[in-house]
Each structure stands twice: as structure tokens, then as C-alpha cells.
Chains A and B, each alone.
Chain A
Amino acid sequence: MKKEDLFNAIGDVSEQKIETAQSRMSDEIKKPKLKWGTRLKLCAAAAALSGITVFAANSPRTERIADSMMHWSSHDSATEQEKAIYDKYTDEKAFILETANGKFLIDGILYDQSILCIPYTYYPNTPLGEPGTDSHKNSLLIDSRLAFRIRSEADAGMENEPPLARHNNERFLGQCGYTDTIIQEDGSLKGNIIVSAGDQPFTYGQVIECCIRPAESFKKIRKIEDGEDCSGLFVMVDGASNCRYEYEYIAPTYLYAFTLDKSFETADIKADGIALPGALAIEDMSISSISLHMNGHFIADVEAVSSKECDTVQNQFMAMCMDSAIIMNDGSLVKSGNTQCHYHFSRDGGWTFSITLMFEAPIDLNNMQYLHMEGPLADNENVDILIPIR
């Protein structure tokens, strides 16, 4: 055997071993890869010097945000034009949310009046597998108890309120999370948390609190003996045994708070007279580069329409919204990628609905022409509507 044979044979060892050693050579590969210590220092600096941009404009931050926003897009990556929109409207933040299973690195948020997007890069505490593989095989559980709420003056001073009142006062916002399950080259995962505003729009200056909700808000401490004085204790009665138990209230763990500083531009769409078959009426609509929001109601006589009938029509309408698209000036279509829907019933107002469509890609507000909705509605009558946006 010659030394050259040995050198050649070393060249054919398993790829897995070469990849491991390759990580030592990675400074020659052009990819953003900061060590955690560096990231923490950056974020600490950002927290200390709030208002100072940590990451340079059009930096890997834009790339990370664009990547994280692509989860329901039919395209593999954002176009330069789309990145420019993200870059223009990203509210630059730099913070880390540390949970039991890992850390969420967040360096920007995007919001309009209906939706708050928190694109993140997630670094698990323990490696999830080889880069390029699917983390689902590892039964990944991203910290699902991460929750968001708007800080309000009403929350202040609640510490001395009874536990149940405090618990009821914790109005967390509706949210859903999307995580790309393919493990990145540095072991991270990319994702996006979508927080919906619900019935109150997001507004400039609001403070959003990030918390970890406890698995259970009330923990059973002990059984209270008959005749025992339980004043000052939080007591619940077991319905079956009629025994009394002392409970402890477990408050959410506060992690971080940030202020909404920079929003997408929003435009109202004239919605007067848009009455849909199935006795649905749209009251108001607004649109931004990332979402369309509409509020409406069910016109029919509440007494005369069964709840089931109402549900059917509203579900059909929601399905139609999910298939809707924005028609651009050049005739191209941008589909909705995510739909969030809220129904509410009251004696006075009847059935009302609130629907938010998030687009699969950001759109230039000036280039939108129509909202196109099509589908079966009310006894399968096919509806085909073009709603002018401008």
C-alpha cells in the first residue's frame, strides 16, 4: 500500500464524519452563524441600548425574517421585492425568549391592525438531529405554552386580587405557530408565531408581554378539614366528594415585553352594500401588505334561524375566504395562506363574524386591484365576487 492509497481511502470515509469535521471548516462557508454567547451579548446590548439598531439594514436579519415568513407560501423563498417590503416594515427588535426546551431568537416583528408576526429562529437545548433532516422524527415539542398578551392598566395591581379574578383577567391573545421541521445547518429551526388581535386592533405604542403559561393555573395544596378556618385561602370544592381543598394560583412566568412601534400601512376597503348570499353582510374591511381583515354579521332573523344553519353558512363562508385571492394590477394572484376566524353571538347583535386572511406573500398596497372570492355558499349556490380594493 502506498501513502497515496491511504490518502485516497481517507477521502472515502463516511460523509457523516466529514460533515462533523466540516463544521470546523465552516468559517470558509458563507452563512450567518453566530455562537450563542455572541447572540446573547448582542441581545443584551440591544436591551441596554433600546432604540439602537443591532443588525445592519438588509442584513441576515432580513433574510431570517423572510425565511420565517414563508411557511405557507407556495414559493421556496421570498423575492427581492418581498424582502424589500419586509425590510421596510420590520419593527426591529432584538430579544431572546428562553423556555424549558430551547431559545427563540427574535430580531424583528411585523404587525398590522389584525395580525402580529413574530418570526423566530429556534435553538433547542438538545440537538434535534442532523442538519437537513426532519425534526418531526424526533417528536419535537416546541414550547406551546409560550403566550402573548397586551399589557393594560387594568392588569396593574392585580397581585392583591383573589386568584380567580387574576386568572380571569389574563387575557391572552389568540395565536398559532408555524415551524419549519427541517433542521438548519446550525441545528436551529425557523418559524413564525402569528398572534391575532381579536376584537381590539393592534395599535402603535401598545406593550406586548411574552409569558410562559403554567401547565395548570391552580395547584391543589391540601384538603381542608371540617370546621377549619380558611379565610384568606383560595378554596375550591370537589363536586363529587363535597370536600374542600386549598389551591395555589400559579401565575404565568413573565419573560419579556416589547412595544409596537412600526406598523404596516393599512387601507380601508369600501364595504357598503356588500351583501353575500346566505344572508351574510360585510360591515367593514381593511387591508395591509400582509393581511385582509373583515367584520360582518348574519342578517337573518336570529329567532328564525337555527344555530346549526348559521354555523353551516358561516363555515362555508370561511372556506370561501380561505380560497380567496388578491388580484394585482398586472393580473397576477396572491392567495391567502392562513385564515383566522372568530364568531360571536349576542342577543342584541345576533351572529357576528371577524375574519383575517393572511397572504402567502407580502403585497405592495399600491398594486392591489381586487379581492376575489369564489365558492359555494347557502344551499350550494356558487358565489363569485370581485371586490375593488381601490
Chain B
Amino acid sequence: MKDREIVNLYLKRDQGALSETSAKYGNYLKSIAQNILGSSEDAEECINDAYLNAWNSIPPHKPRNLATFLGKITRNLAFDRYRQRQSAKRGSGQIDEVLEELSECISGRNNVEDEIDGQELANCIDAFLGTLSKEACDIFLCRYWYACSITKIAEKFAMTETNVSVTLSRIRGKLKTYLTERGYVL
């Protein structure tokens, strides 16, 4: 079924929207959730929450790209779930590694002065990604948006794992410089 047909089902409050979403995007959303959470069971619970969230969001939202819209919801829910269980110290998927890598781009300090506008930072990162080659941008987002493993990225981009790691390391270095120049990293 086409995306606009699925969105129309949501708009008509037809519960078939959920089964169609699950049939088309279930695996895709599960891969995002599982990348972050590691556990298959947790990922299942997460995407069920994502379906409910989508049901409550459409309407009023009428997403232009359903995959991105659902992916974003799933990513946020999975990351929330990850943080909630951090206190229990349960094992995770890729997210620990991903966050560890991202910590290279920041100071690590956290005080009142460091409080930043999330959307402003997102715009800054967006502008930074615009300076990269298309492939580098895709590799960065596969790792830090989709939380894909290095192995999977290497497979998708036909690169060696070492090559992916080096590429990501260089991008993180550039990002740190970019953010420092703009006052985000002191």
C-alpha cells in the first residue's frame, strides 16, 4: 500500500492503518529500536508504542514522508526507554558505543551555562552535514541517527569496518571543530 493510502487510513481513524504500517514498516522500525535497545523484546514493545504514538499524532499531523515520521517517533521512544533503564544497568544495543563516540565531540561538562537550545543545535548540525559529501553525510546519519552497527554500515556502503570507523572518526573531529567555532564546545 502506498504511504498516502496508509496516512488516509489514519486520517479516517481506520485501525487498518496500524496493520498496514506494521506490514510495510515493521522491520524498518524494529531495526531502529533494536539498534538502540539491543533487546528484540524491548524493540517490539517500543514499536508498539510507536504505532500508538503515530495513531495519536495523525491527525493533526499529516506526514509527508511516513517512513521518516515513524522512524523519528521510534528513535525518540527507544532512546527514552534506553535512558529509563540506564539505572538498572541493563545491556544495550549500539547506543552505548554511539554515545561514547559522540562524547568526543563535546566538552563533557554540564552546567547552567551549557544549557543550549536543542533545535538551534540541530540546525547547526544540519548545516555541518551540508558541508560533507553525500556519502559521508549518509554514513554519519546511519551511525548517529539510525544507530546502525559499524558492521552493518560497512555492508551497506561496501566498505571495510576499519574504513567506516576511520571515516566516522574524521567526521566527529570535523564536527567538534565546527561546534567549537560556534561556541557549543568550550
Chain A: interface residue total (CB-CB under 8 A): 32
Contact A6 B68 (CB under 8 A): no
Q: Is A38 an interface residue (CB 8 A)?
A: no
Contacts of B76 in A (CB 8 A): 11
Contact B141 A21 (CB under 8 A): yes
Which A56-87 residues have C-beta < 8 A from chain B? 76-77
Q: Is A4 an interface residue (CB 8 A)?
A: yes
Q: How far is the CA of A11 from the CA of B8 in the complex (A)?
A: 26
Q: A13 with B118: in contact, given A18-B68, A24-B138, A29-B27 (CB under 8 Å)?
A: no
Contact B79 A1 (CB under 8 A): no
Q: Is A2 an interface residue (CB 8 A)?
A: yes
Q: Is the interface of B mostly helix, strand, loop or mixed?
A: helix
Q: Which of the listed residues B8, B65, B146 has the most CB atoms from chain A within 10 Å of its own CB?
A: B65
- Using an 8 Å CB-CB cutoff, how does the interface string of A1-15 with B read, 1 for contact, 0 for none? 111111111111111
> Which residue on chain B has the smallest CB distance to residue A23?
B138
Q: Is B98 an interface residue (CB 8 A)?
A: yes
- Using an 8 Å CB-CB cutoff, how does the interface string of A184-198 with B read, 1 for contact, 0 for none? 010000000000000
Nearest Cβ distance between residue B81 and chain A, in whole angstroms?
13
> Which residue on chain B has the smallest CB distance to residue A11?
B75
Contacts of B2 in A (CB 8 A): 76-77
Chain B: interface residue total (CB-CB under 8 A): 55
Contact A21 B98 (CB under 8 A): no
Contacts of A6 in B (CB 8 A): 102, 105-106, 121, 125
Number of residue pairs A-B, CB distance < 8 angstroms:
125
Q: Is A31 an interface residue (CB 8 A)?
A: yes
Q: Which of the listed residues A1, A5, A185 has the most CB atoms from chain B within 10 Å of its own CB?
A: A1
Contacts of B156 in A (CB 8 A): 24-25
Chain B: residues with CB nearer than 8 A to chain A? 1-3, 5, 8, 23-25, 27-28, 30-31, 64-65, 67-68, 71-72, 75-76, 79, 83, 98-100, 102-103, 105-108, 110, 114, 116, 118-119, 121-122, 124-126, 129, 134, 137-138, 141-142, 144-146, 148, 156-157, 184-185
Contact A13 B68 (CB under 8 A): no
Contact B71 A18 (CB under 8 A): yes
Q: How far is the CA of A190 from the CA of B40 in the complex (A)?
A: 38
Contacts of B71 in A (CB 8 A): 18, 22
Q: Is A28 an interface residue (CB 8 A)?
A: yes
Contacts of B108 in A (CB 8 A): 3
Shortest beta-carbon contacts, A-B, top 10: A12-B122, A21-B141, A28-B28, A9-B121, A3-B103, A28-B27, A9-B122, A13-B126, A21-B138, A3-B102
